[in-house]
Structure 1
């Protein structure tokens, strides 16, 4: 397992898949490296590719607003993606691209050792929770894997496209808040929420 500095250096110079040829920046992920909660999306979009930061475009701003409802901000969690480079036209990452990048994500999870992982969208849930995961039926449900609690929520970009799903997303946030109160020990898990 690489330490943070080694891992970030390795990611930033990665050439394991074709996404390296079209990226502007590697989007390594950011946030609290001792977080008990980790959010994982599918891949960087245009704004993320340009800035090198995850979830900074419209969907990221909407995610920030959603998480503020349960008093979570970026100082309290770590956020990243299945792939560290933007797929062209924001298409879903291909399996070969996720395969090339999964070791980096596993290394991040091993360094952080979160108690909760929230998959943002179908792509991350299929890869991390279960191959036949159905986001429309199983969002907000908890799964335990290797001592880590995992759930999936609709990706914030899906909620921007279809506002009718927002009440379900709000319920998922309340479910997340309850799980944080149950299993997390940092201040935000007990006092702030």
Structure 2
């Protein structure tokens, strides 16, 4: 019997498969349209996300919302947004390999149930995980890749937090990646 996205989210809410569970306020499973053609996958929740229980609600989320509206013409309600890890790493550190492995089944179930046509990976962690590569985001971005084990394409781009730190060039490159996502959705 296949679970619904809501049932998987309810199961994930009680997850204690890794040490991140000890420091979280709540699991940040994901949000948006459960049958979206477009899915964004980031790294992990930050402080504001941990408080609200929603992905990308801080400064990075505001940038993502703006670029999504300007370059794709969509709001977060019309796509689905999730992260590789569902609990906030302490002090916003990078997720550790065992934490990524523990959360991987949740993300795999999300992708399977949502069945998006296009997955935009935001930053190194989601890009490396979903493309099963060690190549970094700077070399990966700018192209589309077939998604392993799914009828979708992956379009890697920078994480919005990196764009906030990096400035104009990275924002321009992220915008071009989002245009690539819009074009892939219309194919």
Q: Same fold (TM over 0.5)?
A: yes
**CA shift at 1:95, angstroms?**
0.9
Runs ≥4 residues deviating over 4 A = none
Match of 1:137 in 2: 139
Instruction: Encode CA deviations 1:96-118: one digit per residue, 9 max, x unaligned.
Output: 00111111111111111111111
| Contact kept in structure 2, 1:26 and 1:52, CA below 8 Å | yes
**CA shift at 1:5, angstroms?**
3.1
Normalised by the length of structure 1, the TM-score is 0.91
**What does 1:4-83 correspond to in 2, within 5 Å?**
4-69=5-70, 70-83=72-85
**CA shift at 1:170, angstroms?**
1.7
Q: Secondary structure at the match of 2:82?
A: strand
**CA shift at 1:140, angstroms?**
2.6
Match of 2:179 in 1: 174
Number of equivalences? 182
Which of the numbers 89, 96, 101 marks the counterpart of 1:94?
96
Gaps (5+ residues) in structure 1? 183-193
**CA shift at 1:37, angstroms?**
0.8
Instruction: Encode CA deviations 1:5-40: one digit per residue, 9 max, x unaligned.
Output: 321111111111000000011101000001011100
**CA shift at 1:167, angstroms?**
1.5
Gaps (5+ residues) in structure 2? none
**CA shift at 1:169, angstroms?**
1.4
Mapped partners of 1:6, 1:176: distance in 2: 29
| Contact kept in structure 2, 1:42 and 1:81, CA below 8 Å | yes
Q: Secondary structure at the match of 2:85?
A: coil
Normalised by the length of structure 2, the TM-score is 0.93
Mapped partners of 2:30, 2:133: distance in 1: 24
Match of 1:85 in 2: 87
Match of 1:150 in 2: 154
Q: Secondary structure at the match of 1:84?
A: coil
| Contact kept in structure 2, 1:2 and 1:107, CA below 8 Å | no
Q: Secondary structure at the match of 1:79?
A: strand
| Contact kept in structure 1, 2:32 and 2:80, CA below 8 Å | yes
